[in-house]
Amino acid sequence: MEKKNVQHQVHLDAAAHLLAPGNLVAEAGRTGLDNNLQRWIEDLKEVHDNEHLHPIITDLQALKAHFGSGTLDGQVISRLLHRLADNTALVAHLADGNAQPRVVALSAALATAASFVAGGAVTPKEDLQHDLAENR
């Protein structure tokens, strides 16, 4: 297996671990979170000519900026995590070999983290309704 593919799989596993309930909140004030998000962004940018990844990269950058701002808003974080979960699920079929189940697991971890951060109060449907209301 190519070294780069193994690194991407390790990064996917690390991202899923980071999103486990409680881990994201614990890491919010540490540089480890910023580094993990940046590594994830860079991995996605390495996939050329894939417009389906652009929304994921954009939301990861927004999430990274939000965590770096020092003022954390659970609703903003939850909304970004829900969108990341949905968009990650949409592109899971693009992953090769052993990366595909990791991308699926990452999507599930993102959805779980979104609900955890929101205290379980925000469903994907409510998140979509909020996004639609914001865009009006």
Q: What is the rounded CA–CA span in Å between residue 55 and residue 87?
A: 7
pLDDT over 90 at 135, yes or no: no
The reply to whether the predicted model has a pTM over 0.85 is: no
Amino acid of residue 45: K
User: Is the confidence at residue 13, as pLDDT, over 90?
Assistant: no
Distance CA(74)–CA(118), nearest Å, equals: 6
Q: Which two tokens stand for residue 69?
A: 């701002």
Q: Using one digit for the tens of pLDDT, what is the confidence trace for 17-60? A: 777 766 666 666 566 778 888 888 988 888 766 788 999 999 99
Task: Measure the CA–CA gap between 6 and 69, rounded to whole angstroms.
Answer: 32
Predicted pLDDT at 26: 63
